[in-house]
């Protein structure tokens, strides 16, 4: 059986490939061991099957009927073509999607992994004649809110994922959720050590979303929490973005130039 992992940029496809080829039942195993790079990718793990890249597959492999194979479909985040299905007509497709909640994770991995850059270089504030934290926070927020790719890679039915669609959030929120989602498509043995290592290697992309979700939860439950420990500008921008899509309110950037000190301020803003 061939399993095509169809994914946007950000290293999510390579992670799923590692899970399947190292821990999936009946899969042909890679020759190398897995090591995560400094930016969290797992590209050093050799691919058992050549990658389907930008609508082209080089071939060069004979698929055995009694083995399982993983094929990465990497057309880039801007190209959602499913022409690969004609190359692998009998394959099971695992499509990795993202939604408004998980978009900030994809957005930053897109910049740092796919573009081999960073948010400071790609989202400068020099044309605003200021490098103040509030300006960088606003710049990052506007990027998250207005980028056209925020609307890309959605599931076929936005209100319900099919068995062969996996949201990026299902990969990082909880190991049990991750394994359950993948097991719905293919039988996989325990891979907690791999998941834990991947989650740690990609914490800089994932933790801001987890933090933002916790802040919103406190606002909704009227729980007062100190926020002065949240000093990372990107994380603050992700919280602004979560406030925007949850309450349809854009935080007045000048009024909160020093960010929020506690969740009570947010609750007053959105009430």
Which secondary structure element, helix H or strand E, spans residue 55, and what is its range? none
Q: How far is CA 68 from the centre of its chain?
A: 26
Quote the CA–CA distance of 141 and 235 in Å, as a whole number: 10
Nearest Cα to Cα of residue 167 among 154, 180, 156:
154
* pLDDT tens track, the chain, 271 positions: 999 999 998 899 999 999 999 999 999 999 999 999 999 999 899 999 999 999 999 998 999 999 999 999 999 888 889 999 999 999 999 999 999 999 999 999 999 999 999 999 999 887 777 778 999 999 999 999 999 999 999 888 766 667 799 999 999 999 999 999 999 999 999 999 999 999 999 999 999 999 999 999 999 999 999 999 999 999 999 999 999 999 999 999 989 999 999 999 999 999 9
pLDDT at residue 161 in the model: 65
End-to-end CA distance of the chain: 53
pLDDT at residue 110 in the model: 94
pLDDT at residue 117 in the model: 93
pLDDT at residue 37 in the model: 93
pLDDT at residue 157 in the model: 75
pLDDT at residue 158 in the model: 66
Give the Å distances, CA to CA, from 77 to 44, 114, 120, 152, 207: 21, 9, 21, 8, 22
pLDDT at residue 78 in the model: 87
**DSSP states of 120-166:** HHHS--GGGT---HHHHHHHHHHHHHH-GGGGSS--SSTTS--TTEE
pLDDT at residue 159 in the model: 61
């Amino acid at each position: 059986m061939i399993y095509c992992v169809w994914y946007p940029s950000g290293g999510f496809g390579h992670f799923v490939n590692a899970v399947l080829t190292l821990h999936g039942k009946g899969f042909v195993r890679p020759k190398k061991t897995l090591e995560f790079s400094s930016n969290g990718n797992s590209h050093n793990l050799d691919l058992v099957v050549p990658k389907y890249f930008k609508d082209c597959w080089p071939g060069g492999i004979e698929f055995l009927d009694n083995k399982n194979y993983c094929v990465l479909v990497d057309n880039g985040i801007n190209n959602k073509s499913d022409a690969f299905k004609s190359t692998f007509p009998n394959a099971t497709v695992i499509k990795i999607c993202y939604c408004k909640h998980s978009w900030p994770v994809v957005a930053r991995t897109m910049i740092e992994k796919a573009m081999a850059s960073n948010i400071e270089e790609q989202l400068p504030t020099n044309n605003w004649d200021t490098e103040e934290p509030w300006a960088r926070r606003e710049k990052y927020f506007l990027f998250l809110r207005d980028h056209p790719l925020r609307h890309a890679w959605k599931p076929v039915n936005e209100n319900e994922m099919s068995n062969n669609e996996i949201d990026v959030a299902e990969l990082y929120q909880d190991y049990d959720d991750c394994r359950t989602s993948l097991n719905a498509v293919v039988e996989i043995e325990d891979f907690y050590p791999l998941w834990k290592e991947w989650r740690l290697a990609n914490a800089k992309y994932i933790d801001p979303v987890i933090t933002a979700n916790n802040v919103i939860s406190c606002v909704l439950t009227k729980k007062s929490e100190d926020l002065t420990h949240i000093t990372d500008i990107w994380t603050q921008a992700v919280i602004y973005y979560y406030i925007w899509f949850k309450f349809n309110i854009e935080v007045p950037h000048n009024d909160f130039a020093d960010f929020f000190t506690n969740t009570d301020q947010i609750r007053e803003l959105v009430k």
